[in-house]
Copies of this chain bind each other. A is one copy, B any other.
Amino acid sequence: MKMHILVASLLSIGMLAISVNTLANEPIQPIKPAKVDNADMVELGKMLFFDPRLSMSGFISCNSCHNLSMGGTDNLPSSIGHKWHQGPINAPTVLNSSMNLAQFWDGRAKDLKEQAGGPIANPGEMGSTHKIAVDVIQSIPQYRTYFEKAFGSDQVDIDRITTAIAAFEDTLVTPGSRFDKWLEGDKKALNQQELEGYALFKNSGCTGCHNGKAVGGALYQKFGVHHPYETKSKVEGRKAVTGKDTDLNVFKVPTLRNIELTYPYFHDGAVTSLEDAVRIMGKVQLDRDFNKKEIDSIVAFLKTLTGVQPEIKLPILPPSNNNTPKPVPF
């Protein structure tokens, strides 16, 4: 009996060591639930994220293009902005975006706070100005009460507005995917095809860029390493930020978390099926012609990266009043 327990214990320790060792060697790490330090700040940020009054028209909110019902995206090739302006690039998901080394496809914003200020004042996105956005929010006493709770005083400025939005976005993580369950030791969480897809994903070199907790987002890479990517898009990627010719077509590697939800794919949003996306990535980045079986297995693996979506209680926004600047939709 004692012998049995001893053997069992040794086996357990051995299995634990293998398990930990395996996980440590994986290029992808599981996502942990968000920790909330300042719940008032997050609640305020959620209200602002859903508030279309941050736009000139009163119609477009952060959630319009980063829709939390749809994987934190708009599922459009490029976004619809103020007066139906066609955006130049595919809207990246807001989910797990706090894990990105920088924000936007070209990394021109260093963090979510800096990012949040961009669309508000972009004439082709929300079409407002920081001054008008501040004037609108400041005019609403109930909002000022939330600022008081979150920041300790009721002052409203663009720095605080974007700080609160970023604090909310920090909570938009998606733990609990089947792949993360597998990483954490539930070996039945993936089926044979999915495991083969993951093995191929690693062996082919995909994890060279798509790694870490977000399965991407941690580095910049040229799109078109082996073959040029055919596109009608005029955007230049990192070159627009650094001015360097070598940064032409260099983009932040997008996260593959929830990739099943964040179609269409690539910076130009030109590819609607995940199968085509995998085939194209294999060719242009790895000079590899995946066959149908390989593509299907990688796609099967990628679909295991869909996590539990953030549970959002729709905020009730405090009403405008006679002092609130009016939206100008037309």
CA distance A76 to B70 in the complex (A): 25
Please indicate the chain B residues that have their CB under 8 angstroms from the CB of A83 in the complex.
84
Determine how close the nearest CB of chain B comes to the CB of A73; give it in whole angstroms: 10
Contact A58–B71 (Cβ < 8 Å)? no
Q: Which of the candidate stretches A7-15, A159-167, A283-291, A307-315 sits at the interface with the other chain?
A: A307-315
Please indicate the chain B residues that have their CB under 8 angstroms from the CB of A319 in the complex.
70-71, 75, 260-261, 263
Interface membership of chain A positions 55-68, coded 1 if the CB is closer than 8 angstroms to chain B and 0 otherwise: 00111000010011
Contact A69–B84 (Cβ < 8 Å)? no
Interface size on A, residues (CB 8 A): 42
Q: Which of A239-277 contact B (CB under 8 A)?
A: 260-261, 263, 272-273, 275
CA distance A312 to B311 in the complex (A): 11
Determine how close the nearest CB of chain B comes to the CB of A70; give it in whole angstroms: 6
Contact B68–A314 (Cβ < 8 Å)? yes
4 nearest CB pairs, A to B:
A84-B84, A312-B314, A309-B316, A69-B317
Copies of this chain in the oligomer: 2
A327 CB within 8 Å of chain B: yes
Chain B residue, CB-CB nearest to A319: B261
Contact A263–B71 (Cβ < 8 Å)? no
Determine how close the nearest CB of chain B comes to the CB of A56; give it in whole angstroms: 12
Determine how close the nearest CB of chain B comes to the CB of A76; give it in whole angstroms: 5
Q: Which of A59, A322, A327 is packed against the most chain B CB atoms within 10 Å? A: A59
Q: Which of A269-305 contact B (CB under 8 A)?
A: 272-273, 275
CA distance A313 to B314 in the complex (A): 6
A320 CB within 8 Å of chain B: yes
Contact A322–B272 (Cβ < 8 Å)? yes
